[in-house]
């Protein structure tokens, strides 16, 4: 011990270096033993097998063969109608209806040239009078159409005034036996809302009813409604 205390400083430094080296070697040896004790082998991980699927290229669809278009057959040619033979004479529609009437040649024109050859005439008696026709010696039925008694002037729309629209609206009006308007139909209009105003106004008109042999009957007549801007 006394020898150690009597050593020089250089010897003391060597002693400390040796002690540190010994401590370091013991620490390394101890860590190696601990690592060997706690070591666990690495487990191998089984990987699933890789499946490879070969995909073939899709085949291109082949176009369908086009059907040959057959031209339609030409339309049949129409034969011109046979000419109507000219028969000189008059038609029954041109004769006076009613009465016995004369027996006459029947034809389809008065402008044709008569044939040079004499032919047996085709004759037909005049038609018998109908129930609505006056018999010989009887009076014709007396009919008096409906007439306007009072009327209301239709108004103008602002759009028609702005565009200075003037003209006529023509209506067909049904009138009953009392002179009231039962139905109105538009025959010719002007637009701009004037047709509707004309119909509304005519529905308020009053008429003297039509008469047939003095009796009041219903009637239909054409009415013209004038639209004129005031100057």
Averaged pLDDT, 26-36? 74
Residue 87: which pLDDT band, with cuts at 50, 70 and 90? Answer: low
**Chain mean position to CA 154:** 34
Maximum C-alpha span of the chain? 191
> In angstroms, rounded to a whole number, what is the distance separating the alpha carbons of residues 179 and 205?
9
pLDDT of 135 reads: 58
Contact in structure between 112 and 90 (CB atoms under 8 Å) = no
Contact in structure between 168 and 227 (CB atoms under 8 Å) = yes
Q: What is the pLDDT of residues 90-126, one digit of tens each?
A: 555 545 444 445 545 555 555 556 555 655 555 555 4
Residue entry with tokens 């040796």 = 18
In 3D, which of 196, 145, 154 has the Cα closest to residue 175?
A: 145
Q: Which residue has the higher pLDDT, 56 or 144?
A: 144
Look up residue 155 and give its two tokens. 């108004």
Residue 21: which pLDDT band, with cuts at 50, 70 and 90? Answer: confident
Say which residues have a Cβ less than 8 Å from residue 154's Cβ, sequence separation at least 6.
194, 197, 198, 200, 201, 225, 227
Q: Which residue has the higher pLDDT, 137 or 19?
A: 19
Geometric angle at alpha carbon 130, from 125 and 133, rounded to 5°: 110
Say which residues have a Cβ less than 8 Å from residue 126's Cβ, sequence separation at least 6.
92, 95, 96, 97, 99, 100, 101, 102
Q: Supply the Cα-derived Rg of the chain in whole angstroms.
A: 62
Mean pLDDT of the chain: 75
Q: What is the pLDDT of residues 39-51, one digit of tens each?
A: 566 666 677 777 7
pLDDT of 224 reads: 94
pLDDT of 5 higher than 60: no
Q: Among the residues of the chain, which ranges form H helices?
A: 2-5, 9-38, 158-162, 194-202
Averaged pLDDT, 166-189? 94
Residue 169: which pLDDT band, with cuts at 50, 70 and 90? Answer: very high
The CATH homologous superfamily for domain 143-227 is: TonB (3.30.2420.10)
Map residue 92 onto helix, strand or coil.
Answer: helix
Secondary structure of 139-178 as H, E, C letters:
CCCCEECCEEEECCCCCCCHHHHHCCCCEEEEEEEEECCC
pLDDT of 1 reads: 45
Averaged pLDDT, 117-139? 56
């Amino acid at each position: 011990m006394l020898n150690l205390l009597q050593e020089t400083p250089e010897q003391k430094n060597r002693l400390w270096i040796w002690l540190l080296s010994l401590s370091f070697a013991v620490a390394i040896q101890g860590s190696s033993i601990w690592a060997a004790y706690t070591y666990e082998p690495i487990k191998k991980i089984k990987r699933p097998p890789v499946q490879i699927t070969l995909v073939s290229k899709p085949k291109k669809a082949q176009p369908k063969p086009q059907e040959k278009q057959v031209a339609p057959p030409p339309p049949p040619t129409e034969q011109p109608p046979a000419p109507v033979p000219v028969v000189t004479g008059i038609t029954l529609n041109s004769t006076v209806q009613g009465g016995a009437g004369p027996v006459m040649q029947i034809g389809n024109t008065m402008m044709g040239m008569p044939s040079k050859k004499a032919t047996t005439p085709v004759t037909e008696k005049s038609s018998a009078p109908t129930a609505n026709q006056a018999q010989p010696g009887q009076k014709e039925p007396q009919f008096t159409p409906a007439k306007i008694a009072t009327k209301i002037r239709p108004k103008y729309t602002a759009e028609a005034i702005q565009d200075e629209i003037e003209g006529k609206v023509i209506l067909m009006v049904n009138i009953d036996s009392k002179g009231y308007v039962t139905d109105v139909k538009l025959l010719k209009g002007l637009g701009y809302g004037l047709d509707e105003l004309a119909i509304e106004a005519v529905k308020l008109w009053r008429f003297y009813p039509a008469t047939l042999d003095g009796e009041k009957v219903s009637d239909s007549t054409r009415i013209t409604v004038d639209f004129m801007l005031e100057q």
